[in-house]
Amino acid sequence: STESNPIRATLFPGDGIGPEIAESVKQVFRAADVPIEWEEHYVGKEIDPRTQSFLTWESLESVRRNKVGLKGPMATPIGKGHRSLNLTLRKELNLYANVRPCYSLPGYKTRYDDVDLVTIRENTEGEYSGLEHQVVRGVVESLKIITRQASLRVAEYAFHYAMAHGRERVSAIHKANIMQKTDGLFLKCCREVAEKYPEITYEEVVIDNCCMMLVKNPALFDVLVMPNLYGDIISDLCAGLIGGLGLTPSCNIGEGGIALAEAVHGSAPDIAGKNMANPTALLLSSVTMLRHLELHDKADRIQEAILKTIAEGKYRTGDLGGTSTTTEFTKAICDKL
Ligand code: NAD
């Protein structure tokens, strides 16, 4: 039974409000009887030479072994000669796709009430390859790298995701009319993968037009897949459509089926330790983790309890205009479960 064989998952509570909102996830999982046993890992106090960062080798090994994890926000300690925590995670675990489901929260009013889309961002190359140099004085060059391998990999994931989540359409976002070679190759790879999924409608949308359509009528979109830079911008735009980064979950997909879910916001040092943080983004991220594990029942129940609590409006944290503490809001969710 799942009771005697719990699934092990890595938990990085992180810094600042991280431990408070991670505690909230642990309580909610307990209330919903989720068969997960957390393996907690903390950011080290010293640089681990094996990772060249404050993240320990053991913590990375834990994610590799468990293949699933949840990460709170991490504030990169100041110092020279080490890699940032997020970069270390991305490189070491080869996190190639960033997935952000964006849906309107009932009862939390924004300009739109019918957003239900997912952005899938290629996370390893494109303009973020870090290849910039000066050619001559006054002229610099930045290389945008697009490879067939990384494009196929993220396209495969997007279509797989669409199928697994009952989605109907995948839109590839591009600027291939100008970036003919790079975005052209990205689109070619998306088309190849699309052919293997005749059940899913495939379309291509130019990035500028996509932005206009998103702000005019976000309900037009279902699953969007795109290269790194476009994904960085569009995913934040979409977070804005539903009320901001404090509510948006995300999940990083890595080589070998690794899924590392994380809230998009930072460690909020201004409210850390004050029992004021809104745990919604991390909770909804933990729901994406459960979906990755195909624990859809548990995911549905927890998501519903969170959304109902916010919709009722009796218990809301300060950032949503309420007066509840993190613990009160968490308790309200647990009571629903
Ligand atoms: P931030 O997201 O931590 O804070 C911005 C504002 O939003 C603050 O006023 C904060 O109180 C509020 N806020 C954020 N999350 C909230 C929540 N869950 N509930 C209520 N209010 C919330 O951004 P920042 O101040 O730019 O960054 C602070 C630290 O976090 C930095 O050290 C930065 O490097 C780090 N950071 C980490 C990640 C990550 O680990 N993924 C992402 C962004 C920033």
* DSSP calls for 175-187: -TTTSTTHHHHHH
Q: How far apart are CA 222 and CA 261, in angstroms?
A: 21
CA of 292 to the centre of ligand 1 (A): 25
pLDDT for res 4: 61
CA of 270 to the centre of ligand 1 (A): 9
Given a cut of 50, the residues of the chain with pLDDT beneath it are 1-2
CA of 185 to the centre of ligand 1 (A): 36
pLDDT for res 1: 43
Nearest protein Cα to ligand 1, atom 37: 266
Question: Is the distance from CB of 173 to CB of 225 less than 8 angstroms?
Answer: yes
Question: Which pTM value belongs to this model?
Answer: 0.92
Atom of ligand 1 nearest to the CA of 268: 3
Helices vs strands, H then E, count in the chain: 10, 12
Look-up of token digits 């697994």: 164
Return the closest-CA partner of residue 20 out of 277, 284, 317. 277
Answer whether 254 contacts ligand 1 (Cβ < 6 A). Answer: no
Nearest protein Cα to ligand 1, atom 5: 268
Q: How far apart are CA 178 and CA 194, in angstroms?
A: 23
Q: How far apart are CA 170 and CA 225, in angstroms?
A: 7
pLDDT for res 130: 82
The total of other beta-carbon atoms located within 10 Å of residue 147's CB is: 17
Nearest protein Cα to ligand 1, atom 42: 266
Atom of ligand 1 nearest to the CA of 282: 18
Q: How far apart are CA 155 and CA 122, in angstroms?
A: 9
For residue 64, give Cα distances in angstroms to 26, 89, 121, 242, 281: 21, 11, 21, 33, 24
CA of 267 to the centre of ligand 1 (A): 4
Nearest protein Cα to ligand 1, atom 41: 73
CA of 71 to the centre of ligand 1 (A): 14
- Please enumerate in sequence order all residues whose Cβ is within 8 A of that of 127, keeping only pairs 6 or more positions apart, or say none: 142, 144, 227, 228, 229
Predicted interface score ipTM higher than 0.95: yes
Question: Is the distance from CB of 110 to CB of 304 less than 8 angstroms?
Answer: no
pLDDT for res 188: 98
Q: How far apart are CA 219 and CA 169, in angstroms?
A: 12
CA of 174 to the centre of ligand 1 (A): 30
Question: Is the distance from CB of 94 to CB of 125 less than 8 angstroms?
Answer: no
Answer whether 104 contacts ligand 1 (Cβ < 6 A). Answer: no
CA of 254 to the centre of ligand 1 (A): 24
Q: How far apart are CA 218 and CA 240, in angstroms?
A: 11
CA of 231 to the centre of ligand 1 (A): 20
Answer whether 75 contacts ligand 1 (Cβ < 6 A). Answer: yes
Q: Which helix (H) or strand (E) holds 213?
A: helix 207-216
Q: How far apart are CA 111 and CA 256, in angstroms?
A: 39
β strands within 198-322, DSSP E: 201-206, 223-226, 249-254, 258-263
Answer whether 25 contacts ligand 1 (Cβ < 6 A). Answer: no
Nearest protein Cα to ligand 1, atom 12: 268
Nearest protein Cα to ligand 1, atom 25: 268
Answer whether 76 contacts ligand 1 (Cβ < 6 A). Answer: yes
- Ligand 1: which of 265, 270, 271, 329 to mutate, most ligand atoms within 8 Å of CB? 265
Atom of ligand 1 nearest to the CA of 318: 20
